[in-house]
Amino acid sequence: MSNTAPEVAARYLAAGGNRHPAAADWAPGLLAFGAGNNIALWNPQDTHHNGISALLAGHTDAVNAVKLCNFDGQMLILSGSADKTVRLWKPAKDKDMHLLATGAADSNVRIWTLTETGAKLVQSISLQPRYLPLTTALISIAGGAVALAVAGTASYIQLYVRSEPGANFVLQATLTGHEGWIRSLDFVEHGEDILLASASQDKYIRLWRLRRETGTTTPTNGFGTHENAAVTKKSLSNTARQVGNTNARYAVTFEALLTGHEDWIYTARWAPSIDSKISPTLLSASADNSVAIWTADEASGVWLCNARLGEISAQKGSTTATGSTGGFWIGLWQPDGSSVVSLGRTGSWRRWTFDGTKDTCDQQLGISGHTQEVQSLAWAPDGSYLLTTGSDQTTRLFAAWKRDGATSWHEFARPQIHGYDLNCIDSISNNQFISGADEKLLRVFNKPKAIDSLLSKLSGTESTVEGLADAANIPVLGLSNKAIASPADDQLDNDGICENADATSTAVQSPLNTDQPTLEDHLARHTLWPEHEKLYGHGYEISAVAASHDGTLVATACKASSLDHAVIRLYDTKEWREVKPALTAHSLTVARLAFSSDDQHLLSVGRDRQWAVFKRKDTSSTVFELLTSNPKAHTRMILDCDWAPASNPLVFATAGRDKCVKIWTLRDGTAECVLTITLSATVTAVAFSSLIRDDGIRLAAGTEDGSIHLIATKIDGGASFDSKPISTALCPSGSISCLQWRPARMDGPNTQEIAVASNDHSVRILAITK
């Protein structure tokens, strides 16, 4: 076999952003954000719309804070995580003074200086009275001093000042007024003064002015002798607090109260300042589903909201079921101030750019991805799109956008938004799929006409117009997507809204007839697939589902701890009736099901450490019977299985917690293990390529630690294998839950694509050459 490792490249990466106000930052050409335990890198200004360029792995828990710093032209990424660590990525050259403040659930704020080799702890501040710091802000002030603002699970802001390099930060002022937790702080220079914005769960933004003082008047409260302990609750008091050092003093006063948001405010960020003499602009993101831009009126000085973005119309169509409520958790400015981005509850980034000629904000393509573990995925039978599903209770459809010689991948639809965690999925046909969740039934969905037309237009797939519903929606308090018809043109008013819509039609004309992939605003409202059928019979949560290649049968299984429930149920897809009797062989949960390429055999593996092969009674029958099984196939539970492409004898693979992949041949009803391949970790996923190569059949194996191995297996003339690991940089940081090769698609000579689902919240499409 060849000793040359195949070339592997990331074709597409998708991951949703973490819902934490400090979990993202934007520098020229790079937006970094927390995505599960990883840090995702994205350039929103990329005209090719390639999306996430890399996922940096290192943290072992959710990333809650990300900061970008440009030191001497080199970018440094700082990240803080629930794993109690702060990590520095791409260390830059040391400089005289680079300060970093971190806050944690131990009620401590720690001050670090960044050095050539990492970071050095210089001070630890124990917050008194004790509270959890949710936000910090640093700024250099006159006289060589540095100011630090800290706030969190208290209704006040503490201002600390370091009077000179090498000195400690000392508490000098406490600012009261908010009536809820404070989520965001940000400083900006305004002439010789400094403005501090604070955003709170009390639905208000407060602006505080640090006014530069002149003269020799002695500070009223003294520097470093703050009255701290008894925090006043008088919110209307505007007594000046003084901060600074002996060289420069600032009087801190309340400047303005910004009202207008109707729910918690998560972030408040000042626009990048080109000239500190110009009145600054503030961006706020709120749980009320809006992003607001605030400026001070030039004549009166009153702060006004001059733009509001997001879902703010009466026709939101957003409910808890559709997942579009929950608002925006992060709002960021483009470094030159020409656009803004926001992160919503669904983990998706939206972007707006300012059009000065029209005086409008136009929404642009963003990126999206799952916000919890991705449990399963399935390609359409013709490989035209990829379906993924996971613990964030959504099913998502990803496809390629082809235009002008360029290709990029995007989320085109969100066919299912559920009330239960989704565990498994498979495609029945190009227009139909089935999914199973933490409920006792399975649901079958049909592609709507709007999505069919969109895929045909942007991906170049063949359109299937006949027999498809126009669209779907979710009734109030319901979990089933109902088919609906779009209103006729003569039913719409000037805003495209149908005032007389009933339960069988949508009130708004579908906006999907576009020249680009679906915007996040529309994904949760206009891309649902109508539910075609429910399949009953199981007694517990669904654990596995597989559709036959000809689309006539589906096999299903549920979580089980006894023989009575560890059965496999078959359903025909014509009448959607169960094919009885149920298939029995296992005593515990069936983890995976797979039909052979000719659909004559059904393979099952389970947590009882055995596999079983069932065979049709005859070639045209829908009834299967147990052909053979191996109750001691692995020494620990079996987690996945797959059939090799058509061959004689039949070949299949099993993989389990014993860190082994086993290759079996099936002749005349008898199975034999011909290869045992031992890897370094629990093997959680396996998938055979449908192409037979000169060096054998290619098998991909994924493990619990996120590694992926490409294994070339030869069965004829003595079984042998050659295993090559894929570079760690291209692999997930969490357990791999599913692998599936893209069917019947080639991209250049000897190139195949494989989709990877992982518990690190990511979906990856890797291109493998040779």
What confidence score (pLDDT) does residue 14 get?
97
**Token pair of 67, please?**
């900061």
Q: Which of 207, 205, 241 minimizes the C-alpha distance to 225?
A: 241
Other CB atoms within 10 A of residue 90 CB: 10
What confidence score (pLDDT) does residue 3 get?
63
What confidence score (pLDDT) does residue 488 get?
60
pLDDT exceeds 60 at position 44: yes
Residue whose token pair is 């009466």: 314
pLDDT exceeds 80 at position 493: no
Which residues, 6+ apart, have CB-to-CB distance to 462 below 8 Å? Answer: 456
- By the 10 Å C-beta count (0-12 exposed, 13-18 middle, 19+ buried), 465 is classed as exposed
**Token pair of 53, please?**
């360029």
* Helix or strand run (H / E) with residue 293: strand 290-296
Residue pair 766/10 in contact (Cβ under 8 Å)? The answer is yes
558-578 burial by CB neighbour count: b if 16+ within 10 A, else e? bbbeeeebbbbbbbebeeeee
What confidence score (pLDDT) does residue 357 get?
81
Three-state secondary structure call for residue 759: coil
Residue whose token pair is 């940096």: 56
Give the 3-state secondary structure percentages of the chain, helix then strand then coil, rounded to 5.
5, 50, 45
Residue type, 249: R
pLDDT exceeds 80 at position 644: yes
Residue pair 571/577 in contact (Cβ under 8 Å)? The answer is yes
Q: What is the mean pLDDT of residues 393-417?
A: 94
pLDDT exceeds 50 at position 153: yes
Eight-class DSSP state of 646: S
pLDDT exceeds 90 at position 696: no
Confidence bin at 604 (pLDDT 50/70/90): very high
Q: How far apart are CA 286 and CA 342, in angstroms?
A: 10
What confidence score (pLDDT) does residue 204 get?
97
What confidence score (pLDDT) does residue 383 get?
94
Q: What is the mean pLDDT of residues 71-77?
A: 77
Q: Which of 168, 175, 163 minimizes the C-alpha distance to 223?
A: 163
Classify strands 193-200 and 471-473 as parallel, antiparallel or unpaired. unpaired
**Token pair of 470, please?**
């126009």
**Token pair of 201, please?**
């769960």
What confidence score (pLDDT) does residue 751 get?
86
Confidence bin at 316 (pLDDT 50/70/90): very low
Q: What is the mean pLDDT of residues 246-259?
A: 94
The separation between CA 332 and the C-alpha centre of its own chain, rounded to angstroms, equals 18
Residues facing 541 on adjacent strands: none
What confidence score (pLDDT) does residue 318 get?
38
pLDDT exceeds 90 at position 500: no
Query: How much is the mean pLDDT over the chain?
Result: 88
Confidence bin at 213 (pLDDT 50/70/90): confident
pLDDT exceeds 80 at position 486: no
Span 730-745, pLDDT tens digits: 999 999 999 999 997 6
What confidence score (pLDDT) does residue 131 get?
97
What confidence score (pLDDT) does residue 317 get?
38
pTM over 0.75: yes
Q: What is the mean pLDDT of residues 124-131?
A: 96
Strand segments (E) across 461-505? 471-473, 482-484
Check residues 100 and 326 and name the one with the higher pLDDT. Answer: 100
Confidence bin at 259 (pLDDT 50/70/90): very high
Compute and round to an integer the Cα radius of gyration of the chain: 29
Confidence bin at 178 (pLDDT 50/70/90): very high
Check residues 20 and 513 and name the one with the higher pLDDT. Answer: 20
Span 80-105, pLDDT tens digits: 999 999 998 864 343 444 788 999 99
Confidence bin at 373 (pLDDT 50/70/90): very high
Q: What is the mean pLDDT of residues 579-592?
A: 96
What confidence score (pLDDT) does residue 96 get?
42
